[in-house]
Amino acid sequence: MESAGVKVADREEYSAQRQVDGQRLRVHCLHWAGPDAPVVAMVHGLEGSWDTWHPLRRGCFKRFTLFSLKLPWDGQAGYEWCHVRPAREWLALTLDLLPVAPTLIVAHSYGVNVVLEYLERNGLGALEGLVLMSSFYRTDAGGNDWRVFEGCLRGFRAILEQGIALRRGRELETGLMSVIVDKVVDHVGPVGFAECFSHFVRTPLLHLERLALPALVIAGERDPGATAAGNAALAAALPAGQITVLPRCGHFGMVEHPHLVEATVRQFLMQRLPALLVDRPVPSTRHTARERVNQWREE
């Protein structure tokens, strides 16, 4: 069962949401760059949040209208969504809430896997480029034994530790950190982790040759789960992919070093998609969200 609707308040931010099979899907406008600006869709990872992308509202990103997606794998409503439909279909339902199709998709972690499967099945549409951060990718379709599973679980726990320390703003005592990580792992549960793991082990089966568009893969030098080698392999598998490894950076580059991420994306756009960085006039009058949405729909 589905109910859909647009919630627009007379304020700077536009948001739209829909309720599908007990899951609330939503898009948030983080930055509006004018009616003619290209649109960026931002896709968070497992146990991530739509507001993860706030630190990137800077530099070259200000030339884009930024929409951050709230997706079921934020874990707020549990992981029953895994049994209802594939993650790529949840992504499609959420992208449908955007007033216009995105020109660029920026995705992080598990969100990268979902985006790749979605594009492989649905095609590129109006998409002109990809930014894929902290990706989980492998080239070998074999060797899926319990050692691989246990190694991924250890990496998942280490990623959670990094995320928790970033949110707290400091390192925690080992015992306390272990307790908090255990609670998050229990919340995700076997179903949620198996969903993430299954996307990882089937990445060699993706037909990435279909994604013939400029793609920037960003890895963290200190990422304990999404390794630089795996990200480099993804960049090599994409027809027009390139890799940048950020020094002294872990799994959450957009939070740890947003200035480095912005500079890396800006260089990528200047080299591969310079037309997206041209100056566009922004109306001097302040438009309400309702006025902007109506304008988009009329166009």
pTM exceeds 0.85, yes or no? yes
Assigned domain for 94 exists: yes
pLDDT digits (tens, 9 = 90+) for 199-245: 999 999 999 999 999 999 999 999 999 999 999 999 999 999 999 99
More confident residue, 127 or 168: 127
What is the average per-residue pLDDT within 272-299? 66
147 lies in some domain: no
Domain annotation covers residue 107: yes
Query: What is the H or E stretch that residue 149 is in?
Result: helix 146-168
What is the chain's mean pLDDT, rounded? 89
Is it the case that residue 168 has pLDDT exceeding 90? no
Cα atoms in the Cβ-side hemisphere of radius 13 Å centred on 51 = 1
Query: Does residue 278 fall inside a structural domain?
Result: yes
Q: How does residue 2 score in pLDDT terms, banded at 50, 70 and 90?
A: very low
Which pLDDT belongs to residue 295?
A: 55
SS3 67: strand
Number of domains in the chain: 1
**Beta pairing class for 65-70 and 104-108:** unpaired
Domain encompassing residue 253:
2-137+209-298
> Above 60 in pLDDT, residue 292?
no
